[in-house]
Every structure is written in structure tokens, then in C-alpha cells.
Amino acid sequence: MTLKQKPLAAITGGTGFVGRYIISDLIKSGWKIRLLVRSEPMHPLIPELDAEIIISDLSDQKALEQFCADADAVIHVGGLIKAKNRTEFFAVNEKGSKNLAKAAAKTVPKAIFVVVSSMAARVPGLSDYAASKRAGEDAIIRNFTGPVTILRPSAVYGRWDKETLPLFQMASKGRIFMPRDEAARICLINVADVSSAVVTYAKIGKVDALYELSDENIYGYTWSEIALTVGKAVGKTPKITSIPTVLSKSGGNTFAYISRLMGQTPFVPAGKIAEILHGQWGSSPTFQPQLEIWRPRISLESGFTQTAKWYASNKLI
């Protein structure tokens, strides 16, 4: 009698914030791991990483074929969330996705294919990032031979995250600046729940579908609810200062323009401001995974509290 060999998952973006959680959870679930990385992955979240490492990127077709070869599942998490311009976004998020899909179609046409995209992809005209993420989804669907599961997380937060840190820092100082939009709704999801969704769909097999991921409040939170919850997490009742939309847009465009002139990647580029101010980031049951297959486990209050404790323990707030 022979023991069943562990399934192999080939993962892009494994060194990123979300990817590190997925790797850790896949290993715990009995998967072997192969990573495509630009440098050796060393991170405290995965201190004893037992994985095959291929050092390359999404532009190298031969390396991608080696990366995909014999994989039971291809999990695409890699991509740019910040770039100097539209060309950079599309070179990675669209062309890189196309290259990966072609490599998988050639080497493992019957593999499970799971894509971690973004809710921003549902509004491609909003920003260069959103457009490139939609283009990446379409490129994979066109170029891979089998079913593709696309997961679109809403705003992701959690331990190790740098993107939501400023919100917690503002709250810890007693004042939060937020857009003045009472109609806005924003879904959020803890990174651990994103990871559990990916592992679930990698395990159940080929599912040709697109789902949005959020916490239990699929219709989204108001800016005030978010501010009060993060305040509670840091033990404060912060004063909320609402910024008129026109000033938010103006400030973002100006900052992005100056950054481009200096040849730098904007810290808060104009496209990101547009995504934030879009405001309509709620979801609905129609676009959510079936609850009998996957459901989120971490509430916003619990998740924010965990995140705040981690920031505090690392002297970030």
C-alpha cells in the first residue's frame, strides 16, 4: 500500500501580503508548494518554508512552463498594485497573466486554476489598476484551456498589512480623515479569510466561476462605521473629519503628478483616489460564494482588533 502523494500548488505572488497567508494555509492543508519569485522568499509568517523555488518573473515564458509543469493547481496571486503608469500595470497584470495562462495550458491543461484578482476589476474604467486587473482576468480565461475560478477580494486588511496602517495610525492619534460621502459602501475582508477561500477552491477542484469576497457584511460599511470600528480597536473614539470629494480628487491628482515628474511611484496615486472615492464597493449574495462551500469567519470588529494589537506590538501605532 502506497501513501497518496501530496498535491502540488504552483503559486505566483507568494511573497506578497496575501500570498504569504495562502502559502502557509496550503502547507497546513497538505499541499506541496512551488513558488515563482524574483528573490528568495524570507518572511516570519512562513519561517520554515518547504517549497520549490523558481527565481524568475511573469515575463519569462520558459520559466513559467517550468513553474507550471506537473502542478495540480495553479494559483495566480501575483501582480502590481502600484505602478508609475498604465504601461507598467498592463505589462504585469495583463501580459504576465496571459503568459502564465499559456504556460499552464501547454504544460498542465487539466490543472485547477485559481486567480486572486480584485473587486476593482468590476469597474475597469475607474483606474489603470482596475483596467489592468480586468484585462488580466480576461487574458487568463481566453488562454487557459480549462475552468478558471476568479476570486475578487474587497478591501483586504490584517496583520502585516501596510496599506491600512495609516487608518489605524490616524485613529490612534484621535482623528480620522475620510471622504464626505454618506452613500458610500465599502466591503472589507480579513486576509485570513481570503486565504481560506483560495485554499477551499484549490481543494474542491475545477470551478468555472467568478466570486467577490467580503466579510459577513456583504453590502458594505459606511465610512463612519469603519472609522468608529477602527477607533474601538485602538481604544479611542476618534474625531471624524470629512473631506469634500472635490478636494480629495484634487489632492490625489496633484500628488500623483508631482510624483511622476520626479520619476517616482506615487504613494497615493490618482487612480487609487478614484477607487476610494468611487464608494460603491458593496457586494450581494449573487456574487458571493455559496455559503455551504465557503463563508468568512472573521468579523470587522474582531479583525480590526487583531490587526490593531499586531500594529501595537510592533510599535507601528
Structural domain spans, the chain: 8-159+188-215+283-297
C-alpha cell at 290: 455559496
pLDDT of residue 46: 57
Q: What is the pLDDT of residue 124?
A: 96
CATH of domain 8-159+188-215+283-297: 3.40.50.720
State how far the Cα of 149 lies from the Cα of 198, in Å rounded to an integer. Answer: 9
Pick the closest to residue 63 from 93, 100, 94 (CA basis). 100
Give the burial class of 268: count Cβ atoms within 10 A of its Cβ; 0-12 exposed, 13-18 middle, 19 or more buried: middle
| pTM reported for the whole predicted model | 0.89
Ranges under pLDDT 70 in the chain? 1-4, 40-49, 244-272
Closest by CA to 196, choosing from 298, 97, 82, is: 298
pLDDT value, residue 62: 97
Q: What is the structure's pLDDT at 42?
A: 59
State the cell numbers at 92. 504585469
- Grid cell, residue 225, equals 462605521
